[in-house]
Amino acid sequence: MATTAHVQSAITRFRAIVGDDAVLSNRDEMLVYECDGFPIAKGLPTCVVFPTTTQQVADCVRVAIEFDLPIIPRGSGTGLAGSAVAYGEGVLLTTSKMTGIEFVDVKNRFAVVQAGVRNLALSDFVAATGLRFSPDPSSQRASTIGGNFSTNAGGINTLKHGVTTNHILGVEMVLADGTVYTTRIVEGDALYDGVGADLPGLLCGSEGTFGIITKLWCRLVPSPKNFRTFYAVFNSTHDACKSVSDVIAGGIVPTSMEMMDGEMIRIVEAAFHFGFPTDAQALLLLEVDGVDALLDEQMASIVEIAKANNARDITLCADPKRRVELWSARKKAFGAIGRVSHSYCTQDACVPRSKLPEVMAHVAELGKKYGIRITNVFHAGDGNIHPIILFDEDKPEEVQRTLRLSEEILEYCITVGGTITGEHGVGVEKLHLMDKMFNPATIDTFKKIKATFDPDHRINDGKHIPSDRLHIELLTPVTPGKNQAGGALVTQV
């Protein structure tokens, strides 16, 4: 553990690089950085540093090495798996102030941005050209493109238009020794590297464990002009899930197929009054885009499928204003939960779409078994479920019950052919399940890739890939009388 004098010297050096105002080291100021969007795992960093240039990031990395401080990259901190948090000590290297949109090439449809540009800010910036950055996580107003890349974020458009990795052409990254590395050969002109392994693909989704992303070459795509949107209301979650599976089995790929369960409909309705029926058990919100002449026929087939699955009410929406409202209802769902629960955590697994009906039923049973309220809003078309677990983070026993419930949900999803994450990543939350997903040879390969980029385990160790040096435990037996909520047990090996 570093001494106070040692830490003070490091902070002075960071201040010399980024300026006094761009370093936080006071406990009260840093409290907001003690967790990301996963409130169960908390830890204070040694300091929080806000560089604005790649050079500053590289210089900060060198100082961190000199003072032997772990480095934890962070964007906006909207992550949901506890991976942008320092547990014990470390410098939180936050790229959220690296907000420059450096270059937009409309003809060749790409933009070069700094890592801290917010997702929606890029699409807003290029909107007048008729282009957009396609990945659209519901957090897109706040989350950074660097964070989206590091988690391989998905979103509502993912079903048809792909996840973040499909929209990033190249990255610049500061390595663990302070070297600036780029996957591209030439800045600006060359659109495709096309040589050797897909390096951006390898880095995408690595949850800040390989280096600090400083710049990204983002693909821009034409914003769809023609849409058909509908929502269907069901008296059973099973029927709504079966519709999702049948649409895909029928060879139709909508832009989006999102679902809310009955409880979520009531939570959203109470908060925002969108006009959804509060006695329904499920709502399917669906959109197709593409060539105008083909859309009515596609939508007619989808309506038939919904009817065959007992949809009790189907509303086709032609009004662009109402369409925006409907999607805003979906994106605001998480915000509405804050009104009904002290704390919540969002589970994230992917399952084969055909298994959705049984998976949703099983998740509800597990909620009953653990005596914990669960509500659901999710990317149904991707088979990406998000059971939202409502609990009170001030009650240690309830926190542990939430973690056990999460674990059982994820283990079950593996048994039906699913994965432990669809888009939020592994972080610290799911690390103990990696060996249930992968065999020892695969885990070993992950470790070797990490070692290639970060041989000394300096960057975000103990997250995403099991570490031989640092263990961060959340699931611990509750010690009577000791408040273990909101903390993490860190073991240095």
Identify residue 352 by its one-letter amino acid code: P
Nearer to ligand FAD (CB atom), residue 45 or residue 79:
79
What are the start-end ranges of the H helices in 309-439? 320-331, 333-337, 356-370, 396-415, 434-437
- Euclidean distance between CA atoms 135 and 157, whole angstroms: 7
- Of 16-24, 78-86, 231-239, 282-290, which segment contacts ligand FAD by CB under 6 A? 78-86
- Of 7-15, 23-31, 73-81, 369-377, which segment contacts ligand FAD by CB under 6 A? 73-81
Pair 100, 51: CB distance under 8 Å = no
- State in angstroms the smallest separation of the CB of 80 from ligand FAD: 5
Site string for ligand FAD, 407-426 (x = CB under 6 A): ----------------xx--
| Residue 77 found at the interface with ligand FAD (CB under 6 A) | yes
Q: Name the DSSP letter for residue 235.
A: S
User: Under DSSP, is residue 109 helix (H, G, I), strand (E, B) or coil?
Assistant: coil
Pair 41, 428: CB distance under 8 Å = yes
Name residues contacting ligand FAD, limited to 124-183 (CB under 6 A). 137-139, 143-144, 146-148, 150-151, 153-155
Name residues contacting ligand FAD, limited to 307-336 (CB under 6 A). 334
Of residues 42, 74, 238, 266, which one binds ligand FAD by CB under 6 A? 74
Q: Can you read off the two tokens belonging to residue 199?
A: 């390096």
Residues linked to residue 472 through DSSP beta bridges, in sequence order: 490
Nearer to ligand FAD (CB atom), residue 143 or residue 236:
143
Alpha-carbon distances of 485 from 17, 402, 470, rounded to whole Å: 36, 11, 20
Nearer to ligand FAD (CB atom), residue 44 or residue 115:
115
| Residue 75 found at the interface with ligand FAD (CB under 6 A) | yes
Q: Can you read off the two tokens belonging to residue 249?
A: 């089995």
| Residue 243 found at the interface with ligand FAD (CB under 6 A) | no
Nearer to ligand FAD (CB atom), residue 242 or residue 424:
424
- State in angstroms the smallest separation of the CB of 425 from ligand FAD: 6
| Residue 200 found at the interface with ligand FAD (CB under 6 A) | no
Alpha-carbon distances of 249 from 258, 304, 381, 382, rounded to whole Å: 17, 14, 11, 13
Burial string for 211-240 (b: 16+ CB within 10 Å, else e) reads bbbbbbbbbbbeebeebbbbbbbbbbbbbb
| Residue 205 found at the interface with ligand FAD (CB under 6 A) | no
Per rule CB under 6 A, count of chain residues that contact ligand FAD: 35
Q: Please classify residue 315 by burial: count the beta carbons closer than 10 Å to its beta carbon, then call 0-12 exposed, 13-18 middle and 19+ buried.
A: middle
Q: Of 253, 257, 229, 218, whose CA–CA distance to 131 is shortest?
A: 218
Nearer to ligand FAD (CB atom), residue 14 or residue 370:
14
- Of 80-88, 188-196, 271-279, 369-377, which segment contacts ligand FAD by CB under 6 A? 80-88
| Residue 460 found at the interface with ligand FAD (CB under 6 A) | yes
Nearer to ligand FAD (CB atom), residue 309 or residue 421:
421
Interface contacts to ligand FAD, rule CB under 6 A: 36-37, 73-80, 83-84, 95, 115, 137-139, 143-144, 146-148, 150-151, 153-155, 207-208, 212-213, 334, 423-424, 460
